[in-house]
Every structure is written in C-alpha cells, then in structure tokens.
Structure 1
Amino acid sequence: MSPGQIAALIAAGAFVLLVLLLAIPLIKLGRTLDEATIAIRKAHENSTPLFTEANTTLTHVNTQLERVDGITANARAVTGNVSALTSLFTATLGGPLVKAAALSYGVSKAVRARRARKSGADTGAGRTRRGRGGRK
C-alpha cells in the first residue's frame, strides 16, 4: 500500500466517523420534529371544542351586557326623574323655606338683641355704682 492510499483510507474512516457523529443529533432532531408535529395536531384537534365553548361564553356575555344596558337605561331614567323632582321641590318649597328660615333668624336675632338690651339696662346701673364692670 502506498502512502496516498493509506491517507485516503484514514480520510474515509474520518468521514465515516463524522457522518456517525452527525447522525445522532439529526436522529434526535427528527424525533423532536415528530413530537412537535404530534403536539400541533393535538392542539388543532382540541381547538374546535375550545372555540365552541368560547363562542358560547361570548353569547352569554352579550346577553348579560344587554341586561346591563337595560339596567343602565332605567337608572338614567330614575336619575332624570329625581333631578326633575328636586328641581320641582326647590322651585315650589325652596323659596318659602328660605323665607321662613330668614324670618326665624331675624326673629331670634331681635329677641336676643332685646334680651341683651333689657339685661344691659339692669346691669348698666350696677356698673355705675360698683365701678369697673360690676366686680366686687
């Protein structure tokens, strides 16, 4: 055997070894791709019931939202009625109540002023006799 043939034989052995070393990751990659394909197929098969249930859930949510819209409309109507009633009450009874409050305030102030004048007249004479504000 010539040295060139020996070198070719060594190169062929190295190439076989390289192919064997690369075959192992390629086989593992193939298994991984098979598992991924199975997982995608299962996910696709299970997505139909999921979408059906989601559609049912959305239908129920839309029904509830329609009810909430009705409740909101009723609350808006009640708010408008309360506002109108408040305005009517203020227009009807607000003015007379303010006048009555002003009258009672004026009367109580006049009574206090009269009492102060009356008690001031009684103590005013005592102040002049005792000197400094009626102290003993």
Structure 2
Amino acid sequence: MSVGAIAGLIAAAVFALLVLLLAVPIMKLGQVLDEVRVAVRSLSDGATPMMNEVTATVATTHQQLKKVDDIASNVSDTSANISALTSLVTASLGSPLIKVVAFSHGVRKALANYSRPATGRRSR
C-alpha cells in the first residue's frame, strides 16, 4: 500500500464516520417531520367538521337576526301609529276639554263670588 492509498482509506473512513454521525440527526429529523405531518393531518380532519358547524351556526344566526329585524320594524311602525293616535286624541279632545275645565272653573269662581258679599259693598 502506498501513502496515497492509506490517505484515501483514512479519508473514506472519516467520510463514512461523518455519514454515520449525520445519519442519526437526519433520521430524528425525519421522525419529527412524520409527527408534524400526522399533527397537520389530524388538525385538518378536525377543522373540516368545525368549519361546517361554524357555517351552520352563522346561517342560523343570520335567520334569527332577520326575525329580530322584522320585529324591530314592527315595533317602530307600532310606535309611529301610537304617536299619531296620541296626537289625534290630543287635538280632538284636548282643546275642548281645556275649554270645559276653564269654563267650569270660571263658573265656580263666579258662584263663589256671588254667594258672599263683596267687601266694601253696602248691603241694603
């Protein structure tokens, strides 16, 4: 064996040792990547039904909000109708009722003044 052959043999042995030393972390990295792949697959499998449930929940919520919107619209219409009715009652009964109350107050005042003699007035 020549010196070149021995140097080549030593270089080959060192390269083989380097490959063996690097093989262990590469195999562990492969196992980690397999675990990541399994985790991503399970997340994907679990996310699909969850997305379907969220879609159904959003659709149901949308339907309920439509109903609430209809109720709010009806309440608004009812409120406007009650306001108009109140204005009508006030206009039709309020003014005559105030006049009747004022008239009755005047009549009471006049009767009270008529029944007692006025001060400073001479009675005959």
Q: What is the TM-score of this pair, normalised by structure 1?
A: 0.56
- Residue in 1 that maps onto 2:24: 24
Q: Which residue does the alignment assign to 1:36?
A: 36
Distance 1:22 1:86 in 2: 91
Q: Which has the higher contact order (CA 8 A, sep 6+)?
A: 1
Superposition pairs for residues 58-77 of structure 1, below 5 Å?
A: 58-77=58-77
Q: What SS does structure 1 have at the residue aligned with 2:71?
A: helix
Q: CA deviation at 1:91?
A: 5.4
Q: Shift in Å at residue 69 of structure 1?
A: 0.9
Q: Which amino acid aligns with 1:74?
A: N
Across the two proteins, how many residue pairs are aligned to each other?
100
What percentage of aligned pairs have identical amino acids? Answer: 47
Structure 1 residue ranges without an equivalent (≥5): 98-136
One-letter amino acid matched to 1:10: I
Residues 1-136 of structure 1 correspond to what in structure 2 (within 5 A)?
1-85=1-85, 87-88=87-88, 93=94
Distance 1:52 1:15 in 2: 55
Amino acid at match of 1:32: V
**Alignment partners' CA distance in 2, 1:91 and 1:7:** 118
User: 1: distance between equivalents of 2:25 and 2:43?
Assistant: 27
Closer/same/farther in 2, CA of residues 86 and 18 from structure 1, 3 Å limit = farther
In 2: Cα distance, 1:86 partner to 1:23 partner: 91
Q: CA offsets, 1:70-106, max 9 Å, x none?
A: 1211222133224434654675648x97xxxxxxxxx
| Secondary structure of residue in 2 paired with 1:19 | helix
C-alpha change, 1:86 and 1:10, in structure 2 (3 Å) is farther
What TM-score comes out, normalization by structure 2 length? 0.60
